[in-house]
Structure 1
């Protein structure tokens, strides 16, 4: 009798935790496990702003998949672009662009999310994201390049546009990105004698009326005060009306000369979700508390791509798309998948939030562990302690700690690596959201596969 085939799609927090649990808990020969991942690492997303600002190296937040597993899992280098749940076939585009078909008995959908965008003129062609390691590394080079070009320019209008930076999104990603990069340019400007520090301006804008409302009013205001004391212009209740190559027009009528627009205004589920034709909640697959997809045999989903009911809050609430929930969902889903194999009852996912941490760079931070509000150095210690402990390998932990210590002792560096220097590095370049198949295309693909025998 053939062993059951388990296919995990996505190597984010949820997918990796699921695989780790399966490898530990499954008996030898009980099932075959395969993981679909476009990269050979799990990206620790919360620390991307520190990569963009140069505090951490890119390798520090890229945790090797091969170091963190027990070598029972076959890794398929590519991305799922469609799933035929009737034929139980996942269509995968490998990193060579070759399209292959992977059969499964059980599939775990953890494809994560992509940057949420809106129909704003010029946005896709002129904005830069902060969702991938490549984007963070690119933004670092880009920001330093603006200082170099402004320092060399004799054109005052060009200088003005290169020295103003706009970050859209007042959530954790946007706030930390603006805070860390503003700290970088403040440190760097002393090495540019021709630049007036007063000309360098960072803007953080968000359509919401509060900064990071999840933190509560007190900590949200504390973070807002820290940013404004540093000179960051925070505008709430405002968004982008139009994005140009050298200016940004806001919905309140202001026109900012700007060649750096960083877009972090939320995320939306991977386009893979749309290939199922299943019920969704705000674009995420509507799953049961046990993380099964109703009406689809052998299909489980979790993380950013799934609307997992929040049984603690109740009232129809779903778990927020955070790393904390994804990691714990991955472990519970693995247990439920094993229970399915062994014909045992499944258990619902239920988890109380452990709190929130926001690293604003340097000695500044706000944190709310277990509901306790903190700010300053104590909050910074909690934030970095949480991130450090969440790294999955000792190698990753050593790299992160070494980088933090080196930055504290030696300060920031301002070297441009030339990473993809001839590419625009915009959302259109980095997020390949047009590569997925429609449900009909998936059916046609698998039908032709069946016809070929």
Structure 2
């Protein structure tokens, strides 16, 4: 008899947490585990703004999937573009463009999320995202190139527009991105004696009435005070009306000349979820507390792509927020439930009480709320970096990150571009492959063709 086939889709916090648990708890001959991911690393997403600002190197937060003593998972380098839940077939497009039909007995759907965009004229053509390692490295090159070009320009208007930067999104990602990149430009401008530091202007805008409302009023105001002291202009209740190559129009009518628009206004579940024909909650796959898809044996979903009931809250309809903290723990819980299903044991519901929030604003500035205790300044920074450091999965990653932090604190940055700007510009639309997924009709046609050709 063949061993049961477990297929895990996605190598984010949820998917990798699941695979690692399966490798630890399953006997070598108990099941075959396959992971679908375009990259053979797990990205530690919360530290992405520090890569964009040059505090950390890209490699330091790309955690190798193959660096494990128990490593035996087969990795298919590609992305899932369709799943037939009845036939138990996942269609995968590899990084070379080849289409592979992968059969499974159990599937764990952890495809993560993509940047949430709206129908704003020019947005996807002119904005940068902050969701991938490539985007973070690209943005760093772009920001430094704006300083180089402004320094070389003899046109005052061009110079002013290149030194204005707009970040949309007042959540953790947007706030940390604005804070870290603002520190980068303020430090870098000292190496440009022809540039007036007062021309550098950073705008952080959000349609919500509060910055990071999850922090509460006290810490939220503390974060705003820190950002404003650094010269970041915060506009709340405001969004983007339209975006162009050299200017951005706000919904309050202001027109800001800029060559840099960074969009971090939230995420939505991977488009893969919308192709399944299953019930969703706010775009996320509706699952039960065991993270099992009702009506489909052996189908589990978790992380950003699933609406997992939050049993730690009194609200009956509450679902877990799309955070790394929940995704890591859900990954382990799903692995346990997959193993329980294999062995005919009862499944256990997922429950986790939030441990708190940390927001690293760079330097010695941070705001944190561990276990409900409100901190800011150096104590908050110690908690924030301590949490991130401890959450890194490998000792090599811990060593690289700590070395980068110490080196940056002692020696600063050289503010060099690494060449990502040498080719054509790459904006939001170039990193989000939302048109790659199969519709239900295309999936049926594909599987029918594969069966006719003897590949099914």
Band of TM-score, shorter chain: over 0.9
SS in 1 for 2:297: coil
Per-residue CA deviation, residues 8-30 of structure 1 (Å, 9 max, x unaligned), is: 00000000000000011112211
Is 256-265 or 417-426 further displaced after alignment? Answer: 417-426
Is 420-429 or 388-397 further displaced after alignment? Answer: 420-429
SS in 1 for 2:60: helix
- The aligned residue for residue 273 of structure 2 is 273
Q: 1:242 deviation in Å?
A: 0.4
Q: Where do 1:10-29 residues align within 5 Å?
A: 10-29=10-29
- The aligned residue for residue 223 of structure 2 is 223
- The aligned residue for residue 123 of structure 2 is 123
- The aligned residue for residue 397 of structure 2 is 396
SS in 1 for 2:42: strand
Q: 1:421 deviation in Å?
A: 2.6
- The aligned residue for residue 438 of structure 2 is 437
Q: Is this contact kept in 2: 1:20–1:69, CA < 8 A?
A: no
- The aligned residue for residue 210 of structure 2 is 210
- The aligned residue for residue 241 of structure 1 is 241
- The aligned residue for residue 367 of structure 2 is 366
- The aligned residue for residue 423 of structure 1 is 424
Q: 1:342 deviation in Å?
A: 0.6
Q: 1:445 deviation in Å?
A: 1.0
Which sections of structure 1, spanning at least 5 residues, go unmatched?
none
Q: 1:400 deviation in Å?
A: 0.1
Q: 1:420 deviation in Å?
A: 4.5
Give yes or no for the alignment of 1:190 onto 2:190. Answer: yes
SS in 1 for 2:118: coil
- The aligned residue for residue 384 of structure 2 is 383
- The aligned residue for residue 110 of structure 2 is 110
Give yes or no for the alignment of 1:139 onto 2:171. Answer: no
Q: 1:190 to 1:43 in 2, by over 3 A?
A: same
Q: Is this contact kept in 1: 2:3–2:32, CA < 8 A?
A: yes
TM score, norm. by length of structure 2: 0.98
Give yes or no for the alignment of 1:355 onto 2:356. Answer: yes
- The aligned residue for residue 258 of structure 1 is 258
SS in 2 for 1:417: coil
Q: 1:69 deviation in Å?
A: 6.1
Q: Is this contact kept in 1: 2:142–2:421, CA < 8 A?
A: no
Q: Is this contact kept in 2: 1:68–1:392, CA < 8 A?
A: no
Per-residue CA deviation, residues 291-316 of structure 1 (Å, 9 max, x unaligned), is: 01112232100000000000111320
- Paired with 2:27 and 2:98, the residues of 1 have a C-alpha distance of 33
Q: 1:409 deviation in Å?
A: 0.3
SS in 2 for 1:128: coil
- The aligned residue for residue 80 of structure 2 is 80
- The aligned residue for residue 8 of structure 1 is 8
Give yes or no for the alignment of 1:199 onto 2:199. Answer: yes
SS in 2 for 1:234: strand
Q: Where do 1:336-347 residues align within 5 Å?
A: 336-347=337-348
Q: Is this contact kept in 1: 2:123–2:242, CA < 8 A?
A: yes
Is 418-427 or 202-211 further displaced after alignment? Answer: 418-427
Which sections of structure 2, spanning at least 5 residues, go unmatched?
none
Q: Is this contact kept in 2: 1:90–1:101, CA < 8 A?
A: yes
- The aligned residue for residue 64 of structure 2 is 64
Q: 1:451 deviation in Å?
A: 2.3
Is 160-169 or 288-297 further displaced after alignment? Answer: 288-297
Q: Is this contact kept in 2: 1:54–1:413, CA < 8 A?
A: no
